[in-house]
Amino acid sequence: MIEISGLGMVFEREGRPFVAIEDVSVDIADGEFVSIIGPSGCGKTTLLKIIAGLLRPTSGSVAVNGEQITGPGPERALVFQNFVLLPWANVLDNAAFGLEARGLGRDERRAQAATQLARVGLNGFESHYPRELSGGMQQRVGIARALAVNPDILLMDEPFGALDALTRQLMQKDLLSLWQESEPRTGVFVTHSMDEAVYLSDRIVLMNTRPGRVEETVDVPFGRPRNRELTAHADYRTFANYLSSKLETMQRDDMSSRNE
């Protein structure tokens, strides 16, 4: 379980304190897929980086299975929006990179990386280089690299945000299938897309801004397994529209406060 308790983060901007997030508390159960949505600047990525151990909070704490996070750990892996692949390394070595950092031998890490590349549909591309791949394929390498270290928790920061609409839809479908067919793991997913959050998640955390805080936590009322046909159902549209209206209200209020 991930336990986020009274979390706060203050940065310094132009010599003045800037409160990025304030008093954020959320519990995420083992095996749960939780999406975080909210207006730009509400602290979604900051929160994810704190869970990843890349940032130390100003106040509060994050614990995984009762142990407080003080830095990166082997039970967590992060997938970025930008592909962050090594341009001089082929697909197999890119996917094996995290395993090399953990001290596995060359043959073992390549075997594990090859298994994960096959799971994301990239078998046969092991010898290709990032420049030879489409954006969607590069992101698949990033997901395979994260899965190769077999994390209990997969953290994803808008991993499909840089993709075109069709590729993004395909990647959502593939991630959903991967999640439903693989061993249970916990997912924390940052996105701006209501449809994406509803389609993938068990629960959605809506964050507001100025300062970043949890506005509401909503259970997604659709069971698993899921497929793309779900998005055509009236109940799905009603639920997604409810979230959209909440976000629009938050954005409108934020713009009004900035103009005062």
Is the CATH number 3.40.50.300 carried by domain 2-75+153-259?
A: yes
Which strand ranges, in their side-by-side order, compose the sheet holding 153-157?
Answer: 76-79, 153-157, 186-190, 33-37, 203-208, 213-219
Residue with more model confidence, 83 or 73 = 73
Instruction: Record the pTM.
Output: 0.88
Note the pLDDT tens digit of each residue in 2-13: 999 999 999 988
What phi-psi label fits residue 41: left (phi over 0), alpha (psi between -120 and 50 degrees) or beta? left
Kindly state the average pLDDT of the residues 200-229: 91
Kindly state the average pLDDT of the residues 27-42: 92
Domain limits, the chain: 2-75+153-259, 81-150
The confidence band for 260, taking pLDDT boundaries of 50, 70 and 90, is: low
The reported pLDDT for the residue numbered 259 is: 60
Q: Please name which of 97, 59, 63, 57 lies closest in space to residue 78, comparing C-alpha atoms.
A: 97
The confidence band for 108, taking pLDDT boundaries of 50, 70 and 90, is: confident
